[in-house]
Chains A and B, each alone.
Chain A
Amino acid sequence: MSFPWARHYEPKNPLTQWIDSRLPLPRFVYNAVGAGYPVPRNLNYFWNFGVLAGVALVVQIVTGIVLAMHFHSSAAGAFDSINGTIMRDVNAGWFLRFAHANGASMFLLVVYIHIFRGLYYGSYKAPREMVWLIGVVIFLLLMATAFMGYVLPWGQMSFWGAQVITGFFSAIPVVGEWIRIWLLGGYAPDDAALNRFFSLHYLLPFVIAGAVILHIWALHIPGSSNPTGVEVKGEQDTVPFHPYYTAKDGFGVGVFLILFSTLIFFFPDLLGHPDNYIPANPLSTPAHIVPEWYFWPFYAILRAFTANFILEAKLWGVVAMFGSIILLFFLPWLDKSPVRSANYRPMYRVAFWVLVLDVLVLGYCGGSAATPGIVVLSQICAAYYFAHFLIIVPIISRLERPKPLPNSITEAVLAGKSGSRMTETAVSA
């Protein structure tokens, strides 16, 4: 579906006509990310991050395929094949490895900004619930893929990270330990587990790519949201994706690549942990087991549960950690406010920024050693996280009195209140 004024693909040259009448793939691309897709004219830079996530996925798949050509998937050979062969002897192997390792961080970074953009502008609300649901699925797949990839170098953090994460399954009452051993193929992570992780780490990115296609498909039914949250009313509200947003995304990709290259070439180990340059040693537990930065908030939630209440504390932690993501599936129905953009929702806007702060503090806690002070802070922030989604947002959506919305995107743009910047509408309204 598309807006009635969407441009139509009209192949002019005989070859493209020949192809289009047999396999309309060029038409499909034209309608998906070409001139055939009308997009609101007032999107701000926060709308670049979907495309950036797509770029990151392609970077990860391409570098990953080449790295897999040199990687030895065995407990005895994995560390050496990465830190020895790939880093020293493979042509530009160091570049591929640092690009892939930092690419994971860049991917998660842009995905987090993409998710928080959705939260601020209410992109999860009707009629875009399906876009949001598929997005949460992609996020879960991405986390699984990133975790399994981190295990592959078989350093100390890889090994002990695998030990901790697979230990989640042993929290399941009665059969947990049995399930853990079955999944690992042994009592502790070893060859069997490493090969499973490698196999799945190669598979999941393609599952993600499939889910991304569904994500974009679902997006194209209602069309893109926009900073005012007011739906498109007519042709004057939109511009064709190409050349308008391809040009804007081209600039965004440039900025993304500058930041990414700065990491790869000048600070490649900035986001890594020194312990992962120590080969895995099942007999020596690192002083502090910490995951990569992008898991810190969830790790803090996991560690916040220290009290047994009916269930074991560990099980509460695991349930809450997964629950903190699962509850995003319910967000479209938890937030009943018909107004999408937080620019017109004074109470929700405050709650949003408190949530951002809360997640940042959780991230800080997850990355720190679990001293009593850090645990107390994690417990307060974890409680606030659940309160935000399950209590505060539902109540706000009933109590709040939204500000008057513009009649159309064009009206907002012409009044200089396009909401292109996060606060400008709020300040001037």
Chain B
Amino acid sequence: MLPLFIRSIKFLVGGAFIFVLGLALFGTISGWVQDPPKETAEEAMHHHPKELRLPSDGPLGKFDNQQLQRGFLVFEKVCASCHSLSLVSFRDLQQIGYSEAEVKKIAKDWPIKQPVQDPKAGTWGERDNLASDRFPKVYYPGTGTPPDLSLITKARHGGPAYVYSLLTGYSEKPSAEALAHFPEFAKTPDGMHFNPYFANLNIAMPPPLTADDQVTFSDGTRATVDQMAQDVSAFLVWTAEPTMQRRHAAGVAVVLFLLIATGLAYGAYLTVWRGVKH
């Protein structure tokens, strides 16, 4: 009896797992049949990001400094009043074509100051930003928590296209009859803004880019809402990974080197094995 039990234990263990999975399967299917999942408002109304083409796209993408500077201006004039950029330093701006003097001036004039604690009194004061400082943290008292934008194009599906779509995607709340299917959703409190590109369709951020020429670009580019949204998205691609262009350039050299080295290694392999049937 015992040897038989030991010999068949594998079947017993396998059978146990399969039996429990069978119960679970039955439960899932009966639950599915009795209470089929209803379409949610998000499924019905959420949009995938629009298409956005940027010079930084693709495996060989490069930054366009002119565009990044325009994007920085939009960030400075529009986004920066609520959103932090806490992983980026002022000195990093030299990488997108600002001179050292310009960077120092941008830092000095930045409206939000660096907090400093008086080492003797223990009280908090503030000082002007230095080029070596990170962008100061913004404390936002209103509804919602504006996310830090340093990595936003890496932290959302769709990346820059998502940011661009969100900025240009505000629209009227759907009609009452369209909302009738989704009673939960229709109860959304006022003060939220309908945006079909946002995950749950209601975003606390009011439309930030509302009119053409909200900022003035020094390079003569017309500041349409669409242009501002594109440029600030491009800028946020740069903030997410300022070393991206260097990465692409290094990658071309590395892969070319490896292709040659691997070709030589294949030649060595053929030479070593010549005459040995395998």
Q: Which residues of A contact B (CB under 8 A)?
A: 41-43, 80, 83-84, 87-88, 94-95, 98, 239, 243-244, 247-248, 250-251, 253-255, 257-258, 261-262, 264-269, 274-275, 277-279, 287, 304-307, 309, 313, 316, 320, 323, 327, 330, 334, 371-372, 375-376, 379-380, 382-383, 386-387, 389-391, 394, 413-414, 418, 420
Bound CA span A239–B25, Å: 53
Within 8 A of A (CB), among B28-43: 28-29, 31-32, 37
B254–A265 touching, CB < 8 Å:
yes
B17–A320 touching, CB < 8 Å:
yes
A98 CB contacts on chain B under 8 angstroms: 247
- Output the nearest chain B residue to A382 by Cβ-Cβ distance: B21
B25–A376 touching, CB < 8 Å:
yes
A sample of 18 more A-B contacts (CB under 8 A), given A264-B251, A383-B21, is: A88-B92, A88-B242, A94-B241, A94-B246, A250-B268, A254-B266, A258-B258, A258-B259, A261-B254, A287-B199, A372-B31, A376-B28, A382-B17, A386-B18, A386-B21, A390-B14, A391-B10, A394-B11
B247 CB contacts on chain A under 8 angstroms: 94-95, 98, 265, 268
B17–A386 touching, CB < 8 Å:
yes
B154 CB contacts on chain A under 8 angstroms: 269, 274, 277
- A-B CB contact pairs (8 Å), 5 listed: A83-B87, A254-B261, A264-B251, A386-B17, A394-B11
Bound CA span A372–B30, Å: 10
Bound CA span A266–B245, Å: 10
Q: Which residues of B contact A (CB under 8 A)?
A: 10-11, 13-15, 17-29, 31-32, 37, 59-60, 86-89, 92, 134, 147-148, 150-151, 154-157, 199, 240-243, 246-248, 250-252, 254-255, 258-259, 261-262, 265-266, 268-269, 271-273, 276-278
Bound CA span A269–B278, Å: 40
A87 CB contacts on chain B under 8 angstroms: 241, 243
Given contacts A247-B265, A386-B14, A391-B14, contact A305 B20 (CB under 8 A): yes
Interface of B is mostly: helix
B272–A307 touching, CB < 8 Å:
no
CB distance from B34 to the nearest CB of A (A): 11
CB distance from B83 to the nearest CB of A (A): 14
- Output the nearest chain A residue to B259 by Cβ-Cβ distance: A258
B89 CB contacts on chain A under 8 angstroms: 88
Number of A-B contacts (CB under 8 A): 170
Bound CA span A372–B258, Å: 46
Bound CA span A83–B242, Å: 11
CB distance from B79 to the nearest CB of A (A): 17
A254 CB contacts on chain B under 8 angstroms: 258, 261-262, 265-266
B17–A383 touching, CB < 8 Å:
yes
CB distance from A26 to the nearest CB of B (A): 22
B268–A306 touching, CB < 8 Å:
no
A375–B28 touching, CB < 8 Å:
yes
A309–B151 touching, CB < 8 Å:
no
Bound CA span A116–B109, Å: 61
CB distance from A61 to the nearest CB of B (A): 21
CB distance from B91 to the nearest CB of A (A): 10
Given contacts A266-B248, A307-B23, contact A243 B272 (CB under 8 A): yes
Bound CA span A418–B272, Å: 19
Interface of A is mostly: helix
A306–B258 touching, CB < 8 Å:
no
8 nearest CB pairs, A to B: A265-B251, A390-B14, A254-B262, A266-B59, A277-B155, A307-B24, A247-B272, A307-B23
B28–A334 touching, CB < 8 Å:
no
A251–B18 touching, CB < 8 Å:
no
CB distance from A276 to the nearest CB of B (A): 8
Bound CA span A48–B62, Å: 37
A316 CB contacts on chain B under 8 angstroms: 20
Q: Which of A88, A261, A279, A414 has the most CB of B within 10 A?
A: A88
- Output the nearest chain A residue to B260 by Cβ-Cβ distance: A254
- Output the nearest chain B residue to A98 by Cβ-Cβ distance: B247
A306–B278 touching, CB < 8 Å:
no
Given contacts A247-B265, A383-B22, contact A257 B258 (CB under 8 A): yes
B28–A379 touching, CB < 8 Å:
yes
Bound CA span A390–B250, Å: 50
A305–B278 touching, CB < 8 Å:
no
B276–A244 touching, CB < 8 Å:
yes
Bound CA span A125–B70, Å: 66
A42–B262 touching, CB < 8 Å:
no
Bound CA span A268–B157, Å: 15
Given contacts A244-B273, A266-B248, A371-B37, contact A250 B150 (CB under 8 A): no
Bound CA span A79–B254, Å: 29
B13–A262 touching, CB < 8 Å:
no
Bound CA span A379–B31, Å: 14
- Output the nearest chain B residue to A414 by Cβ-Cβ distance: B277
B259 CB contacts on chain A under 8 angstroms: 258
A264 CB contacts on chain B under 8 angstroms: 251
B277–A275 touching, CB < 8 Å:
no
B250 CB contacts on chain A under 8 angstroms: 95, 265
A255 CB contacts on chain B under 8 angstroms: 262
A418 CB contacts on chain B under 8 angstroms: 278
Given contacts A258-B255, A323-B17, A330-B10, contact A250 B28 (CB under 8 A): no
B265 CB contacts on chain A under 8 angstroms: 247, 250-251, 253-254
A334–B10 touching, CB < 8 Å:
yes
Bound CA span A278–B150, Å: 10
Given contacts A278-B155, A386-B14, A390-B14, contact A313 B24 (CB under 8 A): yes
- Output the nearest chain B residue to A306 by Cβ-Cβ distance: B24
Bound CA span A391–B148, Å: 53
A80–B87 touching, CB < 8 Å:
yes
B155–A275 touching, CB < 8 Å:
yes
Q: Which of A275, A277, A376, A389 has the most CB of B within 10 A?
A: A277
A274–B258 touching, CB < 8 Å:
no
Bound CA span A258–B266, Å: 14
A304–B147 touching, CB < 8 Å:
no
CB distance from B11 to the nearest CB of A (A): 6
Bound CA span A7–B88, Å: 60
Bound CA span A42–B269, Å: 14
B21 CB contacts on chain A under 8 angstroms: 304-305, 379, 382-383, 386
B25–A251 touching, CB < 8 Å:
no
